[in-house]
Structure 1
Amino acid sequence: MLKHFFGLLLTLMLISPSAQANLSQTLKKIKPSVVGIGVHTPTGRPKNELRGTGFVVGNGQYVVTNAHVLPGELDKSLKQSMVVFSGSGKKPNTLKARVIARSEYYDLAVLKFDAPALPAMKLAGGEYQSEGSYVAFTGFPIGAVLGLYPVTHRGIIASITPSVVPVADAGQLSIKMLKRMRDPYLVYQLDATAYPGNSGSALYDIGSGEVIGIINKVFVQQTKEAVISNPSGITYAIPVKHLRDLLTEHKVAY
């Protein structure tokens, strides 16, 4: 089932030598900023649940992810807490965090932890990146199974398109989707495939490593389970301009 997932990694070999060298150097720079987002339950088995990916910004104590990665509500009776996982492997560092900003409309959330700062990623400007630009994203696809081992995918910006995702029939339309169709914002459509766990990954320029967007969804052709064995190859990312606005609104320097 995972052969499609691992097979995709071989496509890195198709990049031109210069671009591959740039990506290799960029990865060394940005990987310490890539973190996991999850929930810690002291009495749970397991105690830690990885829900998605995030990346460090600002002074090194702020983390960006998707709003949909966050749990609906923490169970106070179980003393659950939001956590950020840093490092890699089966036993990463676990840092307690709290949500300080979120936007359901743009599917963005900002967390803060009070532990020593981590290396932060630099945000690109607010202008849209050109279609055809080479980009990459690094996160924890299927991290709940594989553990905290960062995986990188690369591709191009295939289109700048309204945020509405096509559905097979009208019965699949939700009230939330109908409202968005009346006033959609533009997102990046990529030709690289994201997987469960990639939500919240930074989309960055291969050469500079600057964040130009945030991965937030994949167009699934059949069922959610089919995204692993039969991915559509269509991934969407929120332009970084909306993150910049959210950070500014909540007085987070970046």
Structure 2
Amino acid sequence: MKKLLFIVLAAVVGGLAALGGAQLFGWNQQVKYVEVAGQPAVEYANFADPATTTNVNPAPTTGFATAADKALPAVVHIKASKQASGRSVGGNPFGIDPDQMPDAFRDLFGNPSPDGRTPQRQAPLQQGSGSGVIISPDGYIATNNHVVDGAENLEVVLNDMQTYEAEIIGVDPTTDIALIKIDATNLPTVKFADSDKLRIGEWVVAVGNPFSLTSTVTAGIVSAKGRSIDIVRRTGGELAIESFIQTDAVVNPGNSGGALVDINGDLVGINTAISSPTGVFAGYSFAVPSAIVSKVVKDLREFGVVQRGLLGARIIELNTAFAEEKGIDRDNGVFVNEVTENSAAEEAGLKAGDVITAVDGVPTLRNSELLEQLGRRRPGDNVVITYERGGDERQATARLKNSEGNTEAILPKPVPEVVSELGAEFVDVDETVAEELEISGGVQIADIKSGLLYEQTKLRPGFIITHVDDRRVKDVEDFNKIMSRASGAVGIEGVYPDNPDKVIGLAIKK
């Protein structure tokens, strides 16, 4: 008995000694989780017939090998490059402001000298790296718009290391999807799965080329659907469609344009962005659903531009506070704030104050869901809109229109001679930006290449032209008309969005 008591006493003393030592050396300190203040930065992560198979919720005993085996041969490495200018911007000897470069080029900016230390004075070659997905055996490849944006040369490396030059067939900034093509045949492809049937919690596999590590496979689950992160609107404007598939599969710069496949290896999305405070993966990635990708690439292949069916209504997403303010007895849905004259919405009988709840029977309780459903349609398509007015549910059939107010297909417009002469790409100023800057329209420089602006000015992409020869500029069409009539010394006036109080005036000689 005494021996037993001695053993117990020794155990207690030893335990206390261990705890004291642990406390002394800090071994038992609790892990502290630090919450990052504010919203994390959102950064871009640099057709076969629809699949008949369905996704499997639990991972099979073979893991993700089947999905990888099917997807890897159809995912390519895209190397985009363009020659930089030699102008001096902000003291940069390269003449390039990295902050004004397309996202696809920013990470690999620079051209070191042979000694590896001092930058060469010559214009560098800007290079970017991304991914793409072969969608037809004759060489059509889907990728992100930001992967190929501004590129003068595109090199595509297949999974078997064959290399091809690629051409851009068409781009769609409103969805951040692009279609390119290589001169090849009998290529491996992926099937398009129905992203609508993808469920939260299902396994997915991301395939791409992060940090130029070719043919990399990661896996995760679907964390959310219909997610809007307000990133495509930077380039796509008010027509931007954001209804991302959110996953926790690891995606990093270079994965942009790569495949997100289900457990069967069929395409459910194109990896596009990550949410991160550092620029590298920090927990969540975002992909454009295959339903949108399929529609966009078909349009680009057939028409060269995307055919957007527009309802013609300004919308606001309902929440509890807004519903109470408007006296609406529901806290979700899409509130019609304004109906455009002669639009599809007006002709269907929709009015300001209505709350849209479904399109063709598909619930659309968030803006992203409504825009996604409409984004799959072309001008001339009929859709059944379910909505509430005064608490009563109603339905109406709307025949969608194009941006010109009719139901015809939109064809690519020829590049105006003035645009070619100036050597720049111009877009209409976004209405929200114009309101913030308190300007009534204008044109924004989206990109500058070789031409009069490059040769005679130090203007950077982002500059907003508000006046030409003291005449107010409303939009790109107006700008082209004014510039086409101008000759000799032409005065240009405008502002940069980040410094609207500083009006810049300059002249170019035509």
Cα distance change, pair 58–48 in 1 and its aligned pair in 2 (3 A): farther
Deviation at 1:35, TM superposition (A): 0.5
Maintained 8 Å contact 2:128/2:147? no
Structure 2: tracts of 5 or more residues without a match: 1-56, 84-110, 113-123, 303-510
Deviation at 1:247, TM superposition (A): 2.4
Letter in 1 for 2:234: K
Q: How high is the TM-score relative to the length of structure 1?
A: 0.71
Cα distance change, pair 128–106 in 1 and its aligned pair in 2 (3 A): farther
Deviation at 1:60, TM superposition (A): 4.1
Deviation at 1:27, TM superposition (A): 1.6
Cα distance change, pair 47–113 in 1 and its aligned pair in 2 (3 A): farther
Letter in 2 for 1:51: S
Deviation at 1:17, TM superposition (A): 9.4
Deviation at 1:71, TM superposition (A): 3.9
Letter in 1 for 2:293: L
Deviation at 1:184, TM superposition (A): 5.2
Maintained 8 Å contact 2:246/2:287? yes
Greater relative contact order structure (CA < 8 Å, 6+ sep): 1
Question: Matched residue pairs, number?
Answer: 208
Letter in 2 for 1:219: S
Equivalent residue number for residue 294 of structure 2: 244
Maintained 8 Å contact 2:133/2:143? yes
Seq. identity, %: 27
Letter in 1 for 2:146: H
Cα distance change, pair 96–161 in 1 and its aligned pair in 2 (3 A): same
Q: What SS class does the counterpart of residue 28 from structure 1 fall into?
A: helix
Letter in 1 for 2:247: L
Cα distance in 1, alignment partners of residues 285 and 207 from structure 2 = 14
Pair member with larger Rg = 2
Equivalent residue number for residue 121 of structure 1: 190
Match 1:191 to one of 219, 226, 248: 248
* 1:159 equivalent in alignment to 2:216: no
Deviation at 1:211, TM superposition (A): 0.3
Maintained 8 Å contact 2:138/2:184? no
Deviation at 1:177, TM superposition (A): 8.0
Equivalent residues in 2 for 1:1-254, closer than 5 Å: 19=60, 21=62, 23-39=64-80, 49=127, 51-74=129-152, 81-87=153-159, 92-125=161-194, 127-143=196-212, 146=213, 149-165=214-230, 176=234, 179=237, 185-206=242-263, 208-221=264-277, 223-224=278-279, 227=280, 231-251=281-301
Q: What SS class does the counterpart of residue 194 from structure 2 fall into?
A: coil
Question: Which deviations, in whole Å up to 9, do the C-alpha atoms of 1:8-36 show, x marking residues without a partner?
Answer: xxxxxxxx995351521222222111101
Question: Which deviations, in whole Å up to 9, do the C-alpha atoms of 1:220-250 show, x marking residues without a partner?
Answer: 12x33xx1xxx32110111011111112213
Q: What SS class does the counterpart of residue 19 from structure 1 fall into?
A: coil
Maintained 8 Å contact 1:101/1:246? no
Question: Which deviations, in whole Å up to 9, do the C-alpha atoms of 1:96-126 show, x marking residues without a partner?
Answer: 1111121111111111111233201111135
Cα distance change, pair 248–17 in 1 and its aligned pair in 2 (3 A): closer
Q: What SS class does the counterpart of residue 99 from structure 1 fall into?
A: strand
Cα distance in 2, alignment partners of residues 178 and 105 from structure 1 = 4
Deviation at 1:127, TM superposition (A): 2.3
Deviation at 1:209, TM superposition (A): 1.0
Equivalent residue number for residue 6 of structure 2: none
Equivalent residue number for residue 8 of structure 1: none
Structure 1: tracts of 5 or more residues without a match: 1-15, 75-80, 166-172
Letter in 1 for 2:182: F
